[in-house]
């Protein structure tokens, strides 16, 4: 019981420091059945009974990944019943969702899990959802973000609490390591489940935990502690810088008619660290997708603002946002909606080149006999596509997108809407009208350059000749 008391006291101190809850709050506890989440439910239950009254809801998600998933759900249900805590269960077929959504298994599972937890919290009028992320998880998160190239905000790692859809996500265990949590379960005789998928190297986090961190520990046995210290320092400094960026925004930025502007001279007087944060803050206010706010775009705006010449320019920032310099004024706004470009062209042999003036592109078509080409693998991300010329129904039509367009993608049963593919690939709506569609003589979409090709006329070992389609910039194609 001594270890339980120590951890309870530690969690209580962390909760007070970070204002994770108040007496009589309702908290949804996410419980997978593993030692971390079992320890979380047990400790919060102990707090609610003997320290601070809390109304707990036990929530479990069955992702449908493994044969043991149903058994784990029943185990968590029994645990909640033992403690007299209401139980909520969600069951998802994540493998099927992955096939339909195009998301990875980890991403799909996380999205559905958080959606259920937040909905459960709202249904019960709960202030927060408690998650069992611990110090080891934090070290892994910081390392993964460091490898990805994150800035100070990312290196702060997971926060003690953050708000998502008006519900707080709280992490009371961020300073407690996994060894202590497993030790609590073993010393107190708390049963828990073991997830074998935690050992699968196909998951990036598992690879970091099982390969990268042990390798780094050969050079620094306290590397996890160092990463945790980095997250603490980065988090505190990030909060300080964000507060200063907000103050800077209030002093320098003018908002009128949906546009944010500031003067070049006042911006130049601000330290470069605040300049970057100020730009990012403005773009966040314009509802920019955080995944599109990479360093290069923010730096292009910053350097373009500081340079003396040219004094007039325009930068497309993606996601329908634009930054314009008008002499000494820098302006950020949403781009005016572009009129949908509409065009239809016919492409058939012996014609080999088609100029698409509406989008500044050119489509070329080449037929190669088997002995004169090196068979290459299909690559959906390239601006070239190979087809079996004997199987492809001619003439081809190159046209703009139409409402309801669908394509039969390789590896996918049935058809998928072109619009959904653009959304899955995070292609900005402002760029979609510039992507042509290639249809065969039967009206089937066979290729979306740079995005997908269809299953029609696939090149195989029995292919006698290949029809190669290539989309190029119009000026480049003229030179060739």
282 three-state secondary structure:
helix
Q: How many Å apart are CA 134 and CA 139, to the nearest integer?
A: 9
Burial class (CB in 10 A: 0-12, 13-18, 19+), 155: buried
Residue given tokens 């980065």 in the structure block: 234
What residues are designated binding site? 32-37
| Closest by CA position to 235, among listed 320, 327, 314, 142 | 142
Residue given tokens 């490898």 in the structure block: 147
Q: How many Å apart are CA 288 and CA 175, to the nearest integer?
A: 33
- Show the DSSP H helices in 66-134 as ranges: 69-83, 94-101, 105-123
Residues facing residue 323 across a β-bridge: 315, 332
HEC assignment per residue over 392-439 = CCCCEEEECCCCCCEECECCCCCCEEHHHHHHHCCCCHHHHCCCCEEE
Q: Positive or negative CA dihedral for 115, 120, 121, 125?
A: positive
| Closest by CA position to 436, among listed 368, 314, 319, 346 | 346
What residues are designated binding site for ATP? 32-37
The answer to whether the CB of 409 falls within 8 A of the CB of 416 is yes
Q: What phi, psi does 55 have (nearest 5°)?
A: -95, 110
Which residues in 105-142 are b (16+ Cβ under 10 Å) and which e?
beebbeebbbebbbbbbeebebbbbbbbbbbbbbbbbb
Q: How many Å apart are CA 222 and CA 230, to the nearest integer?
A: 12
From residue 231, alpha-carbon distances to 40, 122, 290, 450 in Å are: 22, 30, 20, 39
- The beta strand positions in 108-258, using DSSP E, are 128-130, 161-164, 167-170, 254-256
Q: Which residues contact 278 (CB under 8 A, 6 or more apart)?
A: 245, 248, 249, 252, 253, 262, 267, 270
């Amino acid at each position: 019981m001594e270890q339980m008391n120590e951890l309870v006291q530690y969690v209580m101190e962390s909760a007070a420091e970070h204002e994770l809850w108040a007496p009589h709050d309702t908290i949804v506890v996410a419980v997978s059945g593993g030692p971390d989440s079992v320890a979380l439910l047990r400790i919060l239950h102990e707090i609610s009974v003997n320290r601070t009254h809390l109304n707990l809801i036990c929530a479990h998600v069955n992702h449908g990944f493994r044969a043991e998933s149903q058994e784990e759900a029943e185990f968590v249900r029994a645990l909640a019943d033992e403690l007299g805590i209401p139980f909520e269960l969600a069951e998802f077929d994540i493998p099927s969702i992955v096939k339909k959504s195009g998301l990875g298994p980890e991403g799909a599972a996380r999205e559905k899990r958080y959606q259920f937890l937040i909905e459960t919290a709202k249904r019960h009028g709960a202030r927060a959802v408690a998650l069992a992320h611990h110090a080891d998880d934090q070290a892994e998160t910081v390392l993964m973000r460091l490898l990805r190239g994150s800035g100070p905000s990312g290196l702060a790692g997971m926060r003690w609490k953050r708000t998502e859809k008006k519900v707080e996500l709280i992490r009371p265990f961020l300073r407690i390591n996994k060894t202590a949590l497993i030790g609590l379960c073993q010393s107190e005789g708390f049963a828990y489940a073991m997830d074998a998928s935690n050992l699968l190297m196909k998951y990036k986090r598992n690879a970091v935990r099982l390969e990268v961190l042990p390798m780094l520990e050969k050079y620094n046995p306290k590397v996890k502690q160092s990463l945790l210290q980095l997250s603490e320092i980065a988090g505190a400094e990030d909060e300080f810088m964000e507060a200063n960026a907000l103050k800077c925004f209030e002093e320098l930025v003018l908002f009128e008619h949906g546009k944010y502007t500031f003067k070049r001279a006042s911006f130049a007087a601000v330290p470069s660290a605040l300049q970057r944060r100020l730009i990012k803050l403005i773009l966040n206010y314009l509802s920019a997708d955080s995944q599109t706010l990479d360093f290069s775009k923010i730096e292009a705006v910053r350097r373009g603002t500081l340079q003396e010449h040219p004094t007039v320019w325009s930068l497309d920032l993606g996601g329908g946002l634009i930054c314009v310099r008008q002499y000494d004024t820098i302006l950020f706004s949403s781009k005016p909606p572009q009129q949908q470009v509409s065009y239809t062209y016919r492409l058939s042999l012996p014609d080999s080149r088609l100029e698409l003036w509406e989008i500044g592109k050119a489509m070329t078509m080449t037929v190669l006999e088997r002995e004169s080409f090196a068979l290459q693998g299909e690559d959906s991300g390239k601006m070239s596509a190979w087809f079996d010329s004997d199987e492809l129904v001619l003439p081809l039509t190159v046209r703009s997108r139409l409402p309801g367009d669908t394509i039969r993608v390789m590896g996918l049963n049935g058809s998928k809407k072109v619009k959904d593919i653009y959304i899955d690939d995070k292609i900005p709506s402002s760029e979609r009208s510039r992507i042509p569609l290639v249809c065969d003589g039967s009206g089937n979409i066979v290729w979306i350059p740079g995005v997908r090709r269809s299953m029609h006329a696939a090149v195989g070992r029995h292919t006698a000749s290949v029809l190669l389609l290539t989309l190029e910039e119009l000026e480049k194609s003229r030179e060739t």
